[in-house]
Structure 1
Amino acid sequence: MNNRDSLSIKGNKLKEILYKYYYVLLLIILAITVFNLVFRLGVEPIKDWDEARHGVNAYEMLKNNNYILNTFNYENDYYNLKPPLSYWGIILGFKIFGYNLIGFRAMSVFSAFLTIIIVAVFSYKRFGRIASLVSAGVMATSIHFLQFHGARSGDADSIYVLLFTISIIAAINSYYKKNYIYVTGLAFSLAFLAKSWHTMAIVAIVGLYLIITKLILKFNWRQWLIFIGCSFGPILVWALIRIRYDGFKFIHDMISYDLLSRTNSPIEGHTGPWYDYILDLVVYYRWYIAVFILLLFILIISRNIRYAIKDNLNEYIGLIIWVVLPLILFSIAKTKLAWYIFPIYPPLALLIGCMAEYSIQSFRKSVYPIILCLIIASTAGLYEYKLLNYIRTEPIDVFENYLRDSNISLDKYTSYVYRPTQVEGTDWNQRNVFALELFKDGKAKSGGIKEFLNTDKYSILFLDNNDASLKLIKENNLKIVDSNSSIISAAKQ
């Protein structure tokens, strides 16, 4: 319920209905959320680079029985410079659901669902039931957050957004109960162990919030010490354990490459103008931005904006900083990637929900609130359609499908698997390295045909099913182990 209750539920029929059936409507939204998160999750193709890399790191941690050192193709990985928390989440998914794509992405799905629950509960407690329904509905259909690199992927971003959200909401709650600041510190520390230096945005948001609200002056030295311990203790413990394995190399590369290089130069060609993230919001979020502007306009002309600000000033300060500061910080950084702004989607949803709460109660005639609800629901429906269309039309990976569905048996300790992209090619993409490990426990080897023919170890060669491959098999006296319409598995006689 709103902190301010002078705008009574009575007299506004639509609000009465929404409040009365709040729990039914919330369950419907959560059911849609679950569907959006798990629909075709087990067959959605593995994405190259980050998702595949995370998968390989987690799988090999489990196989190596080493939960600190991350490897790629069983060699120390100094490209993926993230601490291990997100890998541990993937490993937990494997243990619960098995070695498949559902197990791989389970922790991301759970983290996103929990994020939406937290948004709904916070909005319910601070703004009201309508705000809770709208905020949850907006989050459930925020396609940018749900699709590539987000809630439906095995990347670190979903658990990072969850911990980011917990950290900032706890900071806002510390205005009313100071002990929440310890939750802020601990969530920050865990977020760092998932996503590394990206969490500096949390430091900036919390620091500015504490200054503006003057909370920074209200904590005693003991509370500050506990807060600092919660914020940096787990990070320090991990760093000391990691140093035992390879000295300061991983930590050094984290600082020099993952922090300084990404900030000061557009690494790997990931560049863009200063307004790049504004363009991302226009592409992925334009209609919710339009709803936001409409709700703000209604609040201004109805003069209800003064009540909204008066009732929830502390929350507005926190939410606005939460949206604006990451946009500024990541816009200043030279390296730009669309998923860097994922953490701003929860506060955007909360702001839209809060304004919807006050806007719906701004009209005396019930027809206008009904029209407003239909606009919000139609916007959510549009994004729901876009999301489902994206999921349905995802291109398949024929090699991944072959590995998942074939009966061929491999063992990385005895089988070395070659897959040239051409007859003399040697390249493996990362998604196929992960698929080979996940579905067949195989080990990818470079070198192509020549290395395959020269090795004394038992090996398998994967080739495209075409005339050139069949000719190669015949010329080199190979035997076909398994095949389908797209792929042939061959071995030496």
Structure 2
Amino acid sequence: MKFIKQKQFLIILFVLVTCFPIFLHLGAIPVRMYDEARLAINAYEMSESGNCIVTTFENEPDMWNTKPPLMIWLQVLFIKWIGIGELAIRLPSAIAAFLTCILLFWFSAKYLRSYLIGLFAVVVLVSSQGYIDVHVVRTGDYDSLLVLFTTFSSLIFFIFLEYNKKTKYLYLFTAGIILGVLTKGIAGLLLMPVYFIYLLVRKDAIKLFKNKHLYFNVLIFILIVSGYYVLREYYNPGYIQAVVKNELFSRYFETIEGHKHESWFYFKQLKDWQFTPWVYIFPLGLASGFLSKDKLIKKFAGYSFLLVIIYFIIISFGQTKLVWYAIPTFPFLALSVALVISGIRNLIGILFLRFNDFYKSLVAFIIVVLFSFAPYNKIIQKVLKPKEYSWDAEFYETGYYLKSAVKNDIPLNGYILIHNGYYAHNLFYVNILHDKGNDIQITHDFKNIISGKYIVHQAEVKEYIENNYNYVLIDEIKNIRFYKITESNENGN
């Protein structure tokens, strides 16, 4: 009875600990400029057109974002269910994060035989600044969903080799790989070298290659994954060539969009902010795992360490480096840190010989709470009062205004929003305003302006208008100006 009550308490605590960082104020900040905005437009247009094979941007086949559309399909489902908005775009990421936490808790409870390790792993994960952040859990990007499937595949692979070699686990592993590829293309395969190396270490490679079900799984993978790519190519000629250019070579062998960093970039990010303070406990967790008397915990410590190191080597050799590329390792970093529970329990057993398992767990739980309070509280403050990074604050002023216009039904009929450059993050709100009956347009061309009403935020555009046109300043909100332009002045001919 006491064990059942402990179990129920830890499950309730798990739900509370995970839900606040993941779901609290999820729609507070406007849609982000790059991947999230692109996916948001893809999803909006797919929900309007009904074309679930070819993703589009401004109603043309999208040959820039060439990844498969699983994430977009999920966003479309939420658009249909709750309506267009930030929540519909971000809920797939948030739910994927919650399911990832369930995976860690389930794996720890069932296979590592410790609910406390599972709870601590989840606390570590959701108190990691790099995980509960934009472009991962808190926005509608690919990475949170990708992490769910890479974590699932990796845990199932370990279970298959070390715990139960039933063929169903091989099929589950393949399902995870397929879903990962349908989420983010080649990124869903980046852990394959880890699995192969672990097979060699375990000396199970020959045995697996003799298993006929391996080849059935390979066939299933090829049929489903290539099936989508071939179908997309049929309806969107040139798609596969764009995939090869965008995903297979350019990002790994070339630096794109200025994202060139030193070889130790990912390790430095972990230490500086993404995984603090847990990065300092990671070695203790691994040591506890390696020294554990439980053979499965010892093996998992080795597997987790191998996965993290090999994956970091793979992405560190890539020429394009972005902080979120390291996120698939975070669940395993968290589990590795949580293995310190095993070491704490053993130490308590040595220091306090009369303590039974309940008291060992209680002391370990108290230590976990003390260690976790500060980083978890920092994350809660981060999501409770979402703030823009200093370098983004001014840039997203238009997004906040348009978001407010959608919420408060601010009439913007007849206005043209000018944004010089890529404007997907603003186009998302313009589309919603259209649906609400506002006749507002958007353009990036600010040098061929005709008479009319304009919304402008960028300094260079405001300067050009004020130097070259006769205008009336209708309103000004922070750095956003509302102009009524009558004609070109003498400077603008």
Relative to the length of structure 2, the TM-score reads 0.82
d(CA) in 2 for partners of 1:449, 1:418: 14
Find 1:158's aligned residue among 144, 162, 173.
Answer: 144
Contact 2:36-2:139 within 8 A present in 1 as well: yes
Q: Give the equivalent residue in structure 1 for 2:201.
A: 212
| Runs of 4+ that moved beyond 4 A | 16-20, 366-375, 408-411, 464-472, 482-487, 489-492
SS in structure 2 of the partner of residue 419 of structure 1:
strand
Whichever residue aligns with residue 403 of structure 1, its letter is L
Q: Which has the higher contact order (CA 8 A, sep 6+)?
A: 1
| 1-structure distance, mates of 2:10, 2:19 | 14
Q: For residue 445 of structure 2, what is the amino acid of its counterpart?
A: G
Rounded Cα–Cα distance in structure 2 between residues aligned with 1:385 and 1:427:
38
Deviation at 1:312, TM superposition (A): 3.4
- Which residue in the other structure is 1:257 paired with? 246
CA distance in 2, matches of 1:66, 1:349: 39
Aligned residues: 457
With over 3 angstroms needed to count, the CA separation of the structure-2 counterparts of 1:465 and 1:174, relative to structure 1, is closer
Write the distance in 2 (CA, Å) between the matches of 1:156 and 1:183.
21
**Counterpart residue number, 1:233:** 223
Flag the 1:432–1:222 CA change in 2: closer, same or farther, 3 A.
Answer: same
Residue of structure 1 in register with 2:127 after alignment: 141
CA–CA separation in structure 1 for the residues paired with 2:27 and 2:16: 18
Task: Say if 1:355 and 1:32 are closer, same or farther in 2 by CA, change over 3 A.
Answer: closer
Instruction: Tell me which moved more, 21-30 or 443-452.
Output: 443-452
Cα deviation, residue 123, structure 1: 0.9
The question of 1:78 aligning with 2:63 is answered yes
**AA aligned opposite 2:427:** V
Offset of residue 371 of structure 1: 6.8
What 5-or-longer segments of structure 2 have no aligned partner?
A: 487-493
- Give the corresponding residue for 2:167: 178
Match of 1:129 among 106, 115, 122: 115
Three-state SS of the structure 1 residue aligned to 2:93 is helix
Which residue of 410, 430, 446 corresponds with 2:424? 430
Residues 276-308 of structure 1, C-alpha deviations (whole Å, 9 max, x = no match): 1111110221321222334456x49xxx81514
Deviation per residue, 1:445-469 (Å, 9 max, x gap): 232373444xxxxx86324699999
Task: Give unmatched runs, 5+ long, in structure 1.
Answer: 1-15, 454-458
CA shift in 2, pair 1:465/1:324, >3 Å? closer
Q: Does structure 2 retain, via aligned residues, the 8 Å contact 1:145–1:342? A: yes
Q: Secondary structure at the match of 1:83?
A: coil
The residue number in structure 2 matching 1:337 is 322
Query: In structure 2, what is the Cα distance between the partners aligned to 1:57 and 1:430?
Result: 10
- Contact 2:285/2:336 (8 A) holds in 1: no
Kept after mapping to 1: 8 A contact 2:284/2:340: no
Matching residue of 1:89: 74
TM-score (norm 1): 0.82
Q: Is the 8 A contact 1:462 1:488 kept in 2?
A: yes
Q: Give yes or no for the alignment of 1:323 onto 2:308.
A: yes
Q: Matches of 1:403 and 1:306 in 2, distance apart?
A: 56
8 A contact 1:120–1:132 mirrored in 2: yes
Change (3 A) 1:418 1:228: same
Alignment match of 2:33 (pick from 24, 48, 61): 48
Cα separation, partners in 2 of 1:468 and 1:49, compared to 1, 3 Å: closer
CA positional deviation for 1:88? 0.9
Listed one character per residue, the Cα deviations across residues 50-84 of structure 1 (whole Å, up to 9, x for unaligned) are 11112112212222221222222233322222111
Aligned to 1:4: none
Q: Deviations over 1:248-278 (max 9, x none)?
A: x221122223221111122111111111111
Residue 380 of structure 2 corresponds to which residue in structure 1? Answer: 388
The secondary structure found in structure 1 opposite 2:455 is strand
TM-align CA RMSD: 3.4
SS in 2 for 1:146: coil
Q: How far does residue 383 in structure 1 lie from its aligned partner after superposition?
A: 2.0
Seen in structure 2, the aligned counterparts of structure 1 residues 155 and 87 have a Cα distance that, compared at 3 Å, is same
Q: 1:24 to 1:460 in 2, by over 3 A?
A: farther
- The alignment partner of 1:431 has SS state of helix
1:462 is matched with 455
1:192-211 maps to which residues of 2 (within 5 A)? 192-211=181-200
**Amino acid in structure 2 at the alignment position of 1:388:** I
Query: Alpha carbons of 1:288 and 1:374: their partners in 2 closer, same or farther (altered >3 Å)?
Result: farther
Amino acid at match of 1:437: N
Aligned-partner residue type, residue 325 of structure 1: I
**Alignment partner for residue 305 of structure 1, among 287, 291, 295?**
291
Amino acid at match of 2:49: N
Amino acid in the other structure paired with 1:132: G
Q: Which amino acid aligns with 1:231?
A: F
Cα–Cα, structure 1 residues 446 and 104, in superposed 2: closer, same or farther, change >3 Å? same
- Residue 448 of structure 2 aligns with which residue? 450
The verdict on how the C-alpha distance between 1:470 and 1:293 changes in structure 2, with shifts beyond 3 A counting, is closer
The answer (yes or no) to whether the contact 1:46–1:431 under 8 Å persists in 2 is yes
**Do 1:116 and 1:136's aligned partners in 2 also have CA atoms closer than 8 Å?**
yes
Superposition deviation, residue 487 in structure 1: 5.5
Check conservation: 1:51, 1:154, Cα contact below 8 A: yes
In 1, distance between residues paired with 2:313 and 2:457?
A: 47
After TM superposition, give the deviation of residue 196 of structure 1 in Å.
1.1
- For 2:182, give the aligned amino acid: L
Letter in 2 for 1:382: A
Tell me how far apart the structure 2 counterparts of residues 231 and 280 of structure 1 sit (CA, whole Å).
Answer: 34
Give, in angstroms, the shift of residue 229 of structure 1: 2.4
Secondary structure, aligned partner of 1:27 = helix
Give the match's secondary structure for 2:454.
strand
**Aligned-pair CA distance for 1:19:** 7.9
- 8 Å Cα contact 1:130-1:357 kept in structure 2: no
1:10 equivalent in structure 2? none
Alpha carbons 1:100, 1:439 under 8 Å: kept: no
The letter of the residue matching 1:280 is Q
Q: Is the 8 A contact 1:420 1:427 kept in 2?
A: no
- Retained in 1: the 8 A contact 2:123–2:376? no
Render the CA deviation track for 1:157-182: whole Å, top value 9, x for unaligned.
Answer: 11111111111111112121232111
Find 1:69's aligned residue among 23, 41, 54: 54
Displacement, 1:49?
1.1
Compared with structure 1, are the counterparts of its residues 460 and 380 closer, same or farther at alpha carbon in structure 2 (3 Å cutoff)?
A: farther
Contact 2:417 2:441 in 1 (8 A): no
Tell me by how many angstroms 1:209 deviates: 2.5
Give the 3-state SS of the residue equivalent to 1:418 in structure 2.
strand
SS in 2 for 1:270: coil
